[in-house]
Chain A
Amino acid sequence: LAKTTQPISMDSYEGQEVNITCSHNNIATNDYITWYQQFPSQGPRFIIQGYKTKVTNEVASLFIPADRKSSTLSLPRVSLSDTAVYYCLVAGVYNFNKFYFGSGTKLNVKP
């Protein structure tokens, strides 16, 4: 079971870049790393997914070092609407892993 560790909370200001790091020391070979955003009383929203190195899409970047024991979600120029809980999920269906979300990181963006 690939457990993850994230900071409980982070503060930022509008327009800043935010980096949230997740530790996953026992990641398995076939596991992918996926980040989700969740607003209160809503389902998690897919942000980005990667296996190794760097992945970028229109909303975020994901940095994964060679050993894959951690990953960093980078949100460029955050706004107030980015205030949410961010979860790092490490799992892979082909290993029949159990999907473990952890407690997530509460990001608070201030004006």
Chain B
Amino acid sequence: ETGVTQSPTHLIKTRGQQVTLRCSSQSGHNTVSWYQQALGQGPQFIFQYYREEENGRGNFPPRFSGLQFPNYSSELNVNALELDDSALYLCASSPRENRDTQYFGPGTRLTVL
């Protein structure tokens, strides 16, 4: 069984640019959540997608947006990048039978210069 995968592994962008991060959920999982983790801090919840719709959102501005596709994979889009957006972006998927449990991918390290 393949776990949660994320791409790319690392990414460097400049201020004002836009970025798209991708996540493939684990087989049998239909819920995907995205987190931002700054250095030395715990993961911060961005939003969650369930059945292709946003299902809960944390304290992030609208320039953070997402999508979930029919195969339950997901994208995180960030517009107008700021220096403070530099972080590890984590994707987590949850199984149909227990949506309270999340399994995380390895993350995408985004650096904004």
A→B interface (CB under 8 Å): 32, 34, 36, 41-46, 49, 87, 91-94, 96-104
Contacts and interface: CB of A to CB of B under 8 A. Distances in A.
Interface residues of B, number: 29
Given A49-B101, A93-B31, A93-B99, A44 B56 contact: no
A43 B45 contact: no
A44 B55 CA distance: 22
B28 to A, nearest CB: 15
Give 6 nearest A-B pairs by CB, closest first. A43-B104, A101-B42, A99-B45, A32-B100, A93-B99, A101-B43
Given A41-B88, A87-B42, A93 B94 contact: yes
A72 B80 CA distance: 42
Contacts, number: 66
Contacts of A94: 99-100
Given A41-B107, A43-B106, A98 B56 contact: yes
A34 B100 contact: yes
Given A93-B55, A99-B48, A101-B42, 10 more contacts: A34-B101, A36-B104, A42-B106, A44-B43, A46-B101, A49-B101, A93-B94, A94-B99, A99-B58, A101-B44
B36 to A, nearest CB: 11
Contact of A44 (B41, B48, B104): B104
Interface in B27-45: 31, 33, 35, 41-45
A43 B36 CA distance: 11
30 contacts: A32-B101, A34-B102, A41-B88, A41-B107, A41-B109, A42-B107, A43-B90, A43-B92, A43-B107, A44-B90, A44-B92, A44-B104, A45-B104, A46-B101, A46-B103, A46-B104, A87-B42, A91-B100, A93-B31, A93-B48, A93-B99, A93-B100, A96-B55, A98-B56, A98-B57, A99-B45, A99-B102, A101-B44, A101-B45, A102-B42
